[in-house]
A = this chain, B = another copy of it.
Amino acid sequence: MNRPSPRGKRIPPFTVLRFARYLNFLCNLPEEVREISSAEMARTIGIKATQLRQDFFTLGGFGRQGRKYDTRVLEERLREVLALQGSQHMVLVGAGNLGQALANYQDFERFNLYLRGIFDTNPKLIGLRFRGIEVMGLEHMQDFIREQGIELGIICVPHSVAQPVCDALVEAGIKGIWNFSPENVLVPEGVVVQNENLSVGIMNLSYQLSIARED
C-alpha cells in the first residue's frame, strides 16, 4: 500500500504523523536552541524517547551517536521527508467560519504552503478578503485551479455539498484534498484525501474522560 520514500525506504504511516509533530515542535523552538536530546524532545511531545529514536532510525542519518540532535539538521531532514521543501499552493472552498479560520491560519506558510484562492457560493462573502486573498464565486474555481496549476484543495463546506465540491476539485486537477466536512469524500485512484473530522476528536475525548472517571 505504501511506497518507498525518495530515499528508497518506506516510512510507517504512524511514523510519518510523528515526523509532522517533530517538525512542528522544532519550528516552535526558540532560534537560539541549536541542539536537543531525544529525551527532552520526547518528553515535551509526550512520547517515549526510544520511539523517537526508532522513528529517526527508519530513515537513518538524523544524528550522530553520542551527540544530541542538531535542530537545524533535524528540521531540514524532516522538511525534506515530508516534501515541504518546495512551495505548494492551495485553494480553499467554503469561506464560512472554519474556512475563514483556516484562511487566517498563519502556520501554513512556515511549511511553504500558500493559500492562493478562496471560493464560496454566498454572495455576501464573495469579494471579501482574508490575508489579502479575495473570495471568489465557485464558478471560477476550476479555471483558477487549472491556470495556476494548483494541486491542494481544502474543503470547508457543509456535508451535503462536500462530495460534489470534491468531484469538481478533482476534475480541475487537484491531487490532494484536505476535507473538514463531516462527510467522508470519495476520490478516484491517484488522488489523496485526508479527512479531518472535528467531531471524532471530541468524541474520543469524551470516551477517555469516562475511562478516567472510573479510576
Cβ of B17 and Cβ of A200 under 8 Å apart?
yes
Which residues of B lie under 8 Å from residue A209 when comparing CB positions? 83, 151-152, 175-176, 192
Cβ of A202 and Cβ of B108 under 8 Å apart?
yes
This chain: how many copies in the complex?
Answer: 2
Q: Is the interface of A mostly helix, strand, loop or mixed?
A: helix
Cβ of B17 and Cβ of A206 under 8 Å apart?
no
Beyond A17-B204, A194-B208, A202-B108, whether A184 also contacts B46 by CB under 8 A is: yes
Pick the interface stretch among A57-65, A96-104, A117-125, A165-173.
Answer: A96-104
Which residues of B lie under 8 Å from residue A205 when comparing CB positions? 152, 176-178, 192, 194
CB distance from A16 to the nearest CB of B (A): 5
Cβ of B152 and Cβ of A211 under 8 Å apart?
no
Which residues of B lie under 8 Å from residue A50 when comparing CB positions? none
Interface residues on A, range: 35 or more
Beyond A100-B101, A108-B202, A199-B108, whether A192 also contacts B178 by CB under 8 A is: no
Separation of A206 and B98 alpha carbons in the complex (Å): 21
